[in-house]
Amino acid sequence: MKVALSRSSTELDQAVPVVPEGESTRGHSTGVDLLARLESLCAGRGLDALAHRLHELVAFVGYDLAAFEVEFTRLPRDPRLVGKSASQLLDLGGKRLRPMCLALAARLGTGFDQRALDLSVAAELVHSATLLHDDVVDLSDSRRGAPTARAIYGNAASIFAGDWLLVEALRRVHACQIPSLMIELFETIEQMIWAESLQLECRGRLSIGRDVYFQVVEGKTASLFRWAMRAGAAAGGVETASADALGEYGRHLGVAFQAVDDLLDLTGDASTTGKELFADLREGKMTFPVIVALEREPALRPLIYKLTDEDQGAAFSPQEAQQVVDILRSTRAVEDCLDLARRTSAAAVASLAPLPDGPSKRSLVTVAEALVDRDL
């Protein structure tokens, strides 16, 4: 069944984010699921105004996300080893924040058409490729509560699967015939590679400072959010000044997203996040709250050293884990990380000032503000 992608503003109130008959999302979580869970979370915390705006966001962009899911599930499921490795990750679903933001950027212009759909798939494929590669580098056995591709099919298959997804992403961007986007995507992937390399060089080093942290985050996380926003703007024919503003929004949003991820690694609910607590720390990655706490409390150093040590990490006790959390709270490192998320979220919103008021702009504001309150 052909999916119609464009809707007029008069249809928004009646928009229902459903998958067309005969299609399947393979039972995985979707962007609409995330928005619904965030809406419920905010309502449960007494954030009724934000919960209402999230409900409006689902009405506005839910149809686009449903169209994305249909297109994403149509990606080839190759029966060979590399194809199985890629499918292992793709079938787990995801937050779909990059496709969502791309769709909202496109709706500031001519709308979410076929080109925007292809670009949203490309953005998610690049993200998925990095996850397959990351799991090999980090020797991760689980992701989103399920075994990783490398754990089932091996490291080599996971690496080649990531490469295959990158090729498919580049193919889709090329098909859109917007030359600047292809050049920008090459530059973005290069930034991601160098940021990953820097993180690898600094793995397990307790002396790294905030400057290195931000270099890694800007390249590894924020750069792809920035590209997604600019890609949506290009697909929608948004003027240059507004496209630049949207790019800045994406950059700040990416930093805010990573700051919240840093907190969830230390204080989140593993059953909700699908990620084991202290996973980043065990891999030797110095997150923002840990860097701040190490600056303020020397007693944290031997605990972090033991946790990140290959030989001693397995013996790290629940009592020692609680000590780490207690120090993070007593040094106000948790509060400072949350403040970082709020400041960069606010900076993302401020970047939207040049854009005309309307449902797309309001939705982007909602995304930035809701991101700080997520537990997912």
Q: Domain containing 255 — which CATH number?
A: 1.10.600.10
Q: Which domain holds residue 313?
A: 28-372
Is 284 domain-assigned?
A: yes
Q: How far apart are CA 303 and CA 103, in angstroms?
A: 44
Is 10 domain-assigned?
A: no
Show the tokens assigned to 216: 């890694």
Give the DSSP H or E segment for 143.
strand 142-143
Show the tokens assigned to 240: 């240059």
Determine the average pLDDT of the residues in 289-312: 89
SS3 (DSSP) at 232: helix
**What percent of the chain has a predicted confidence (pLDDT) above 90?**
63
Per-residue pLDDT tens digits for 144-199: 778 999 999 999 999 999 999 999 999 999 999 999 999 999 999 999 999 999 99
The predicted model scores a pTM of: 0.88
Tally of domains in the chain: 1
Is 16 domain-assigned?
A: no
Is 289 domain-assigned?
A: yes
Show the tokens assigned to 134: 């990351």
Is 13 domain-assigned?
A: no
User: Would you call 312 exposed, middle or buried from its count of C-beta atoms within 10 A (0-12, 13-18, 19+)?
Assistant: exposed
Nearest to 361 by CA among 104, 106, 38, 110: 104
On the question of pLDDT at 123 being above 70, the answer is: yes
Per-residue pLDDT tens digits for 145-159: 789 999 999 999 999
Q: How far apart are CA 273 and CA 145, in angstroms?
A: 8
pLDDT for residue 271: 54
Q: How far is CA 300 from CA 164, 259, 261, 308, 317, in A?
A: 42, 20, 21, 12, 15
Per-residue pLDDT tens digits for 204-261: 888 889 999 999 999 999 999 999 999 999 999 999 999 999 999 999 999 999 999 9
Is 224 domain-assigned?
A: yes
Is 120 domain-assigned?
A: yes
Is 19 domain-assigned?
A: no
Determine the average pLDDT of the residues in 39-45: 71
